[in-house]
Each structure stands twice: as C-alpha cells, then as structure tokens.
C-alpha cells in the first residue's frame, strides 16, 4: 500500500513513499499556482485568441469574444481571480467540466461556447456532458442512492446498444461522457471496449465508489481512453463512510482507488454528498485535509436531493449551511491560504446564480434502459435514445428542463 504525504507549497513537490519497493519518488505537484499558473494561463489565453481569430473575420470580434468568455467564467465561478490550475498527463484543467488545454477537444469546446457570442463555423458540442448508466448492479447499499429504484435489477442494454448510443451522442456532439451505474467498475471490460471503439472527440469519465479500482484496472482504463474519475467519498472518517455506504470496505476502496487512479495519470475528484448532519466547519476542513493528503485534484460538492432513497425526505440544506459551504468554496478556490488544496467544484453555487444547465440544455442522464432523463436525480423519462425519434425527445427535454435542480 502506498502512503502519500503532501508537501505542496513553497517547494511545490509531493513525496510518495512506495512501501512495496521502499523507493521515495519526487515529482511536481499537479496543483499549479503563482507564476507557473500565470504563465500557463497566459498561454491558454493566447490559444483562445487564436481560436477567435480562426472563427471571426472582424478583429473587433476577436477581443469581444475573449471578454465574453471571461464574463462567462465569472458567471459560473464568481467575480474572482483564478488562483490555481491542475496539470495531469501534460494537460491543464481550469475545471472538472472543461476539457484540458490544449487539444482539439478543448478548441472545439471553446468554439461551441462562442456560438453563444456569435455564429461561427465550428462543429459544435451539443452537450457538455452526458451521464450514461451502464449497469444497475452494485455491491453497495448507499444511504442516499439516487438509483435505488433500479438497483440490482436486470441489466437490459447490450454492448451493441451502448455502441449505438455512444455513436448517436458523438454525432450530436458530446464533450464528456460519464460512465455511471450502479457500480460501473463491475463492467470494466465493457467500458474498455466502448472507449476503444468510440471516436476520439469525446472525453470519457467514470463515476464510481472506487470498488475494484486496482492499479491494473486503472491502467487498463487509462490506456483505453479514460480521462478522469469521480470517486464517491462521503466522510473523511472510515467508519462513518462505511456506514453511509453500508459496505465494510467502501472507505478502503475509495482511498485505494484514488491512489491507483493518480498513479496512472487520471484526473481524480472526490465527490461528496452534502447533508445537513455532515456540514460543519470542522467536518469540511477534515474532508479537505484528507483530499489534500491523498493528492486528488478536485473535490465535487453535490447537495443531497429528495430522490432514490431520499425520496419524500427533507434534504434541503439550511441557509446557514449553504452560507458556510459557499464561503469555504470561495476561500479554498480563490484565496492564497489554500493554494495547495484541491479545487472545489460546487454545482449549486452557480445554479443559484445562473440556473441549471442540465435538463437537455447542456447535459442529461441516460439510464440502463436507454431512457432519456433530465439528470441523474430526475427519473421522468422523455423518450429513449435508441428510438428512431430520439432527436424529437431530446428537443422536448430541452424545452421541459429539469424539475429537480
């Protein structure tokens, strides 16, 4: 087992002690701040300028489009100056749901966003991300499971079905496809096959509890085309997380899986379900300290929803807890006090300010039966992705939106 001690800061290094061979390895931190961040950010802005140059003839539009992108970012993340970036496998990430700079997927993504500024000739991404459930099976029995109504029921879609689904999604234009479940690690061979046969114009991600995420499994997924992994971790204390997940090895696999993913150059995020009984200053700081010490790149905050096992339950966070979460989100991301901590992604933070972009607008959820849903928390299906009239269903979904978020 590997132990990892974070020493990111002035020296900006991490030391990893591999107990299996006794070797201490030294490498640069993936969290970039200070002058290094400024330099990469400058080069990224230069790329944005050249994208605008290639799309628009009027020089005034080159500068106006950059202002548009800056304002777009502020609408999501607040009026704060960028303090840190993530470097993984020679790519640089501004956020979890933005492709890494710099490749064709990044350029197409920017061109797609600029369609909201002015029409251009880019082949656009219709969706930023789509969650695709590849199995209903799961060895865990999580307290909050949003898919409890499907859990451990017979899987319907075949590998051929999934290939058709991914082909249709890519033809529509999808920047990220997230494999989910159930527990998708139970279908690792299927994920490998689907990624290898897909066109290289989409980033693939995995939403998992970490179950079975061995070093060998992480290596296979990476070589098949996986970009990153969301690992559900709902407490920094082992016993509390295991109790929440109703599985005695849940914490072990979450931590072990994260370390194996990191070793194989995958972008790694811990995903935390926020509940009123968990949200406190001490708990959140304890969680962020653990995330820092493991070395993950991101922490994703998701407020619990009244679906699945939480259906008909009061899940809304108190105003005081929301205030605390938003203040910590801003502090950890945009102050100089936490430059060596993972970046926090907090969906409800921007949803409270600019609305939800799921519901067929920028994202959606496809369950294990192929049904098209507004998001993973909303199971009011509108059509099926395998039907001949699926495009009409998608259009209806975008007009209806998501009633949960």
pLDDT digits (tens, 9 = 90+) for 196-227: 999 999 999 999 999 999 999 999 999 999 99
What backbone torsions phi and psi does residue 126 show, to the nearest 5 degrees? -70, -35
In order of 173, 268, 363, the CA distances from 176 in angstroms are: 9, 15, 9
On whether the pTM is more than 0.85, the answer is yes
The pLDDT value given to residue 19: 44
What backbone torsions phi and psi does residue 188 show, to the nearest 5 degrees? -65, -40
Q: Which residue has the higher pLDDT, 375 or 6?
A: 375
pLDDT digits (tens, 9 = 90+) for 71-105: 998 888 888 999 999 999 999 999 999 999 988 99
The stretch 31-41 carries a mean pLDDT of 96
Tell me the C-alpha distance between 370 and 372, whole Å.
6
The pLDDT value given to residue 75: 84
For residue 28, name the pLDDT band (cuts at 50, 70, 90): low
pLDDT at 9 > cutoff 50? no
For domain 127-400, give the fold: TIM Barrel (3.20.20)
pLDDT at 403 > cutoff 80? no
Arithmetic mean of pLDDT over the chain = 91
Helical H segments across 56-158, by residue range: 59-77, 104-114
The pLDDT value given to residue 355: 83
Q: CB of 142 within 8 A of CB of 245? A: yes
Tell me the C-alpha distance between 255 and 2, whole Å.
10
The pLDDT value given to residue 405: 56
Which residues of the chain are in CATH 3.20.20.70 domains? 127-400
Tell me the C-alpha distance between 280 and 288, whole Å.
12
Give bridge partners of residue 33 from the DSSP assignment.
Answer: 84
């Amino acid at each position: 087992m590997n132990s990892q001690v974070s020493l990111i800061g002035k020296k900006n290094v991490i030391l990893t002690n591999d107990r299996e061979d006794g070797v201490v390895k030294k490498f640069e931190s993936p969290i970039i701040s200070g002058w290094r961040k400024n330099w990469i950010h400058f080069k990224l802005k230069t790329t944005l300028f050249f994208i605008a140059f290639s799309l628009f003839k009027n020089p005034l539009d080159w500068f106006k489009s950059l202002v548009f992108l800056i304002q777009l970012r502020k609408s999501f993340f607040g009026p704060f100056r960028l303090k840190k970036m993530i470097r993984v496998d020679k790519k640089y990430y501004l956020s979890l749901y933005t492709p890494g700079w710099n490749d064709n997927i990044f350029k197409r993504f920017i061109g797609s966003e600029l369609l909201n500024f002015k029409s251009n000739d880019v082949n656009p991404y219709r969706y930023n991300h789509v969650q695709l459930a590849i199995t209903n099976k799961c060895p865990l029995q999580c307290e909050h499971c949003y898919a409890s109504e499907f859990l451990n029921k017979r899987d319907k879609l075949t590998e051929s079905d999934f290939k058709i689904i991914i082909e249709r999604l890519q033809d529509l234009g999808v920047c990220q496809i997230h494999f989910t479940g159930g527990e998708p690690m139970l279908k690792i061979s299927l994920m490998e096959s689907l990624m290898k046969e897909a066109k290289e114009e989409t980033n693939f991600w995995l939403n998992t509890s970490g179950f079975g995420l061995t070093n060998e499994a992480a290596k296979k997924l990476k070589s098949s085309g996986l970009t990153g992994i969301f690992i559900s971790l709902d407490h920094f204390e082992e016993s509390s997380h295991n109790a929440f997940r109703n599985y005695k090895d849940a914490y072990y696999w979450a931590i072990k899986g994260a370390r194996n993913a990191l070793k194989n150059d995958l972008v790694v995020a811990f995903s935390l379900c926020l509940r009123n009984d968990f949200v406190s200053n001490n708990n959140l700081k304890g969680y962020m300290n653990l995330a820092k010490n493991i070395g993950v790149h991101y922490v994703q905050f998701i407020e619990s929803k009244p679906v699945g096992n939480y259906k008909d339950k009061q899940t809304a966070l108190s105003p005081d807890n929301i205030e605390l979460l938003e203040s910590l989100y801003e502090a950890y991301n945009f102050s100089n006090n936490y430059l060596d901590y993972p970046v926090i992604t907090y969906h409800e933070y921007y949803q409270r300010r600019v609305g939800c972009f799921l519901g067929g607008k920028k994202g959606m959820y496809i369950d294990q039966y192929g049904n098209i849903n507004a998001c993973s928390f909303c199971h009011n299906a509108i059509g099926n992705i395998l039907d001949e009239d699926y495009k009409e269903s998608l259009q209806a979904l975008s007009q209806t939106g998501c009633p949960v978020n």
